[in-house]
Amino acid sequence: MSTQTTPDATDAASRNDDVLLSVEDLVVQFDTDGGTVHAVDGVSFDVREGETLCIVGESGSGKTISCEAITRLFRSPPGFIRGGSVEFDGTDLTSCSDDRLKEYRGNRIAHVFQNPQGALNPVYTIGNQVREAVELHTDLEGSAIRDRVVDLLGEVGIPEPVTHLGDYPHELSGGMKQRVVIAMALAGEPDLLIADEPTTALDVTIQKQILDLLNDVQERHDMSVIFVTHDLGVVAQIADRVLVMYAGKVMERDDVFDLFESPEHPYTAALLDCLPGSGGLEGIPGDLPDPFNPPAGCRFAERCPAVTEECIEGDQPPEYPVGSDDHTVSCVHHAPDGDPGELDGVTGAIGGDES
Amino acid sequence: MQQPQWWWCAVKKWGYLVSRLLWAGVATWVILTITFVLMEFTPNAQYAQLQFSAAQSGGDPEQALETAKRLRGDTGTLWAQYTEFLSNIVSGNWGWSTYRSQPVTEALATAIPWSMMYGVPSLIISTVLGMTIGLYSALNQYSREDYAATLFAFMGISIPNFWFAIILLVFFGTVLNWVPILFDTGVAQNAAGNLTLGGVFSLANLRQLILPVVVLTTGSIASLMRYSRAEALEYVEADFVKTARAKGVSDRMIVLKHILRPASIPLATLLVGDLLGIIFVGSYLVEVVFGIPGLGTLSYNAIINQDTALVFGTIFVPTFIAIVGNLAQDLSYAYLDPRISFGDDE
Ligand code: SF4
Tell whether the model's pLDDT for residue B140 goes beyond 60: yes
CB atoms within 10 A of CB A322: 19
pLDDT in tens, B69-121: 665 556 667 788 788 888 888 887 887 887 888 888 888 888 888 888 888 88
Give residue A345's pLDDT band: very low, low, confident or very high (50, 70, 90). Answer: low
B13/chain A closest Cα distance in angstroms: 16
Q: Is the dihedral of CA A258, A262, A263, A264 positive or negative?
A: negative
Q: What confidence score (pLDDT) does residue B76 get?
A: 66
Average pLDDT of every residue of chain A = 83
Task: Please indicate whether, in this complex, the C-beta atoms of B247 and A121 are within 8 angstroms of each other.
Answer: no
The answer as to whether A337 is a domain residue is yes
One domain for residues A64 and A206:
yes
Q: What confidence score (pLDDT) does residue A9 get?
A: 44
Q: What confidence score (pLDDT) does residue B163 get?
A: 80
Q: Which residue segment(s) compose the domain that A313 sits in?
A: 256-343
* Residue at which a domain ends, from A211, A242, A273: A242
One domain for residues A220 and A115:
yes
One domain for residues A313 and A203:
no
Report percent pLDDT > 90 for chain A: 19
* Residue at which a domain ends, from A242, A264, A299: A242
Tell whether the model's pLDDT for residue B19 goes beyond 60: yes
B240 inside 8 A of chain A by CB: yes
Q: Is the dihedral of CA B307, B313, B319, B325 positive or negative?
A: negative
B251/chain A closest Cα distance in angstroms: 9
Give residue A7's pLDDT band: very low, low, confident or very high (50, 70, 90). Answer: very low
Task: Please indicate whether, in this complex, the C-beta atoms of B240 and A184 are within 8 angstroms of each other.
Answer: no
One domain for residues A236 and A286:
no
Average pLDDT over residues B169-188: 77
The answer as to whether A12 is a domain residue is no
Q: Is the dihedral of CA B128, B130, B133, B136 positive or negative?
A: negative
Give residue B41's pLDDT band: very low, low, confident or very high (50, 70, 90). Answer: confident
Q: Which of A194-208, A268-282, B143-157 has the lowest mean pLDDT?
A: A268-282
The answer as to whether A6 is a domain residue is no
* Residue at which a domain ends, from A188, A215, A242: A242
The secondary element (H helix, E strand) that includes residue A112 is strand A109-112
pLDDT in tens, B260-288: 888 877 777 666 666 666 666 667 778 88
Nearest residue (by CA) to ligand 1, atom 1, is: A331
Q: Domain B102-336 adopts which CATH fold?
A: MetI-like fold (1.10.3720)
One domain for residues A233 and A172:
yes
**Distance from the first to the final alpha carbon of chain B:** 17
Domain total of chain A = 2
CATH number of the domain that residue A140 is part of: 3.40.50.300
Ligand 1: which residues within 6 Å by Cβ? A 265-266, 298, 300-301, 304, 306-307, 311, 317, 331-333
The answer as to whether A10 is a domain residue is no
Nearest residue (by CA) to ligand 1, atom 5, is: A331
One domain for residues A279 and A338:
yes
pLDDT in tens, A134-168: 998 888 888 889 999 999 999 998 888 888 888 88
The answer as to whether A7 is a domain residue is no
Interface of B with A in 311-340 (CB under 8 A): 336-339
One domain for residues A233 and A296:
no
Q: How far is CA B170 from CA B176, B208, B287, B296, in A?
A: 9, 14, 16, 22
The secondary element (H helix, E strand) that includes residue A92 is strand A91-92
Tell whether the model's pLDDT for residue A29 goes beyond 80: yes
Q: What confidence score (pLDDT) does residue B60 get?
A: 73
Q: What confidence score (pLDDT) does residue B43 get?
A: 65
Taking Cα atoms as reference points, which of A200, A259, A194 lies closest to residue A234?
A200
Report percent pLDDT > 90 for chain B: 0
One domain for residues A188 and A284:
no
The answer as to whether A249 is a domain residue is no
pLDDT in tens, A73-94: 888 778 888 888 898 888 888 8
The answer as to whether A353 is a domain residue is no
Q: Are A30 and A62 in contact (CB under 8 A)?
A: no
Average pLDDT over residues B149-178: 80
Q: What confidence score (pLDDT) does residue B274 get?
A: 62
Cα of A325 vs centre of ligand 1, distance in Å, is: 21
The answer as to whether A9 is a domain residue is no
What does DSSP assign to residue A252? E
Q: What confidence score (pLDDT) does residue A12 get?
A: 45
One domain for residues A131 and A155:
yes
Report percent pLDDT > 70 for chain A: 89
Average pLDDT over residues B60-67: 72
Residue type, A130: V
Q: Is the dihedral of CA A100, A102, A106, A112 positive or negative?
A: positive
One domain for residues A292 and A231:
no
One domain for residues A131 and A212:
yes
| Domain boundaries defined on chain B | 8-96, 102-336
The secondary element (H helix, E strand) that includes residue A251 is strand A249-255
What is the reported pTM? Answer: 0.72
One domain for residues A164 and A41:
yes
Task: Please indicate whether, in this complex, the C-beta atoms of A75 and B237 are within 8 angstroms of each other.
Answer: yes
**What ipTM is given for this predicted complex?**
0.81
